[in-house]
Amino acid sequence: MGLTLSTTRTGRRTLLKDSAHDTPTRASTTEIIDILKLGAAVDAEDKENSSEEGVHAAAGQEVYGFQRRATRKRGGSSLRGTGRSVRGRRGGTARGGAARGSQERASKDAKEEEDDDDEDDEDDEEQVDDNNRSFDGRDGGSSDEAGDADSGYKEQLDDFTHSGPAYERYFENLHSTKSQKTSDNTLSKLPPQTQAESRAILSKVPTKHKSELALLESLHRRQFRQWYFELTSGFNIVFYGYGSKRRLMNIFAAELGSDAPVAIINGYFPALNLKQSLEKIAFEILDLSIASGSVADLASLISGYFNSSSCAVDKMYIVVHNIDGPCLRKHQTSLAVLASNPRIHLLASIDHIEAPLIWDTSSITRFNWTWHDLTTFEPYTVETSYENFTTEAKELGPRGVLHVLASLTENAKGIFRILAEYQIAESVMDDTPESQKAGSTIPEMPYNSYFTACRDQFLVTSEMTFRSQLTEFRDHKVIQSRHAPDGTELVFIPLNAATLGTILEGMD
């Protein structure tokens, strides 16, 4: 029969059991004394370990800055174990019933140990409450102090909003609920300004960098010989760069006038009619008396004249200002036919950044360009003088008419074409300045005759449809009407014949 010792950590209780039957047995006095001695030694070692753990725990409390009250111990488990071991030793010798007494004390000490744990938990909770109260007392101390802290936080937030980092202020202002003030000042509230008033104001602006501009012009003038050499070598010249090139090109053209006839075409003019320009070249310079044709026919006629051996004019120069102008963009093929002739020398200027896109490979080969930078920094005063300056301009330009026609149906375009062709046929085609003004000697077509002509062309089927089409033109001020003294309604387009011819060419 073997005996085993059952112990707990607190108290070191002894219990003799039979390993075979697991029942308490009676033992000899010597064996019980040996067991008790062993328990006492274990209790002494436990007490030493407990003291070391207490020192380490106190050090840990000091490091982390927490002040914790010492746990109340009622005698200590090690001490109680030692005392009880001694009492057990005495009781075992006197009574001889150590096993039964040890079992009773084990159950009693287990209950005491549970009570000690409950008391320790209560002490911990009280310590946490005390720490919280002390922390609240240090921070706020009262509800008034807490309110002051909140107001201070709001002040800091306002300061950060106005003087914080830029990216933080951006998002703060972006999502701000404050009403933002928007100015009611718009360009429409400005008084309308005429073109003459604008020129008078701009003329008072002093020219800057006069010496530098004079030096730049002198450098360009030194290139006249080079340009002349390139022209006589079979090349054509195209000028590009910032600033108006009109004045300097006219100076060079004046010097070329002593060598051969020079024709100047202003491509920036919004009502330019290239057909009329080529007719003047054929009649006045080449002395050709033929019936007029299309632009392509006239270009082929002029080029064929210089190819003949019996021509009276040996060569000529053509200067085109703004060859990329809106009225010349559809006639690049005809101009390329003229430039391809070795006895016709072409000088042109461009200002649009995408001007080279109007030429295909065949046209570039015919033009045979040499490119020169002719930056002058001069204002485009003459080039922009023909544009509609204000929205209240009475004269309607060809660009505006073409823009309106582009959004209309084919029948509406045909109605406009009938009236435009009638006015061109009835107008007097001359070169006087009075005939170039809009509204002067503009033929007017009777309303009934206009409706009949449109119905004969199957453009309208009823008068109601015809009037709805006229309303569209009247809203855009393309077509206007008035009543004659006898009550007849007269319809007209407020543009001269040259401008109408340019518009019709743009429609084609």
CA distances, 382 to each of 85, 241, 247, 267, 268 (Å): 124, 17, 10, 12, 9
- pLDDT of 286 reads 87
pLDDT of residue 161: 53
Confirm whether pTM is higher than 0.85.
no
Contacts of 440-444 with CB under 8 Å at 24 or more apart are 440/496, 442/492, 442/493, 442/494, 442/495, 442/496, 443/492, 444/482, 444/490, 444/491, 444/492
To 5 degrees, how large is the angle CA 238–CA 242–CA 245?
Answer: 55
Please spell the DSSP secondary structure of 30-58, one letter per residue: HHHHHHHHHHHHHHHHHHHHHHHHHHHHH
Query: What is residue 389's predicted lDDT score, i.e. its pLDDT?
Result: 52
**Residue 445: partners with Cβ closer than 8 Å, 6 or more residues away:** 419, 422, 423, 490, 491, 492
Give the per-residue pLDDT at 499.
Answer: 81
| 17 touches 25 (CB < 8 A) | yes
Mean pLDDT by 10 residues, the chain (508 residues): 46 45 50 69 66 50 43 43 44 47 63 64 58 49 55 59 67 64 72 78 87 95 95 95 94 92 90 86 84 84 88 91 90 93 94 90 93 94 71 60 86 92 74 45 88 91 90 88 88 85 78
Taking a C-beta distance cutoff of 8 angstroms, is the pair 82, 44 a contact? Answer: yes
Cβ burial 151-170 (10 Å sphere, 16+ → b, else e): eeeeeeeeeeeeeeeeeeee
For residue 316, give the 3-state DSSP assignment: strand
- Which residues, in sequence order, are CB contacts of 83 under 8 Å at separation 6+? 75
How many Cβ atoms from other residues are within 10 Å of residue 340's Cβ? 16
pLDDT at 79: 40
Query: Which residues have CB under 8 Å from 447's CB, separation 6+?
Result: 481, 488, 489, 490, 491
Counting Cβ atoms within 10 Å, is residue 314 exposed (0-12), middle (13-18) or buried (19+)? exposed
C-beta of residue 72 within 8 angstroms of C-beta of residue 37 = no
Q: What is the pLDDT of residue 114?
A: 64
Sequential DSSP letters for 181-249 = P-----GGGSPP--HHHHHHHHHTSPPS-HHHHHHHHHHHHTTHHHHHHHHHTT-EEEEESSS--HHHH
What is d(CA 99, CA 14) in angstroms, rounded to the nearest whole number? 8
Q: What is the dihedral of CA 232, 235, 236, 241, to 10 degrees?
A: -110
What one-character DSSP code corresponds to residue 409? -
**Is residue 254 within 8 Å of residue 365, measured between CB atoms?**
no
Task: State the pLDDT at residue 251.
Answer: 95
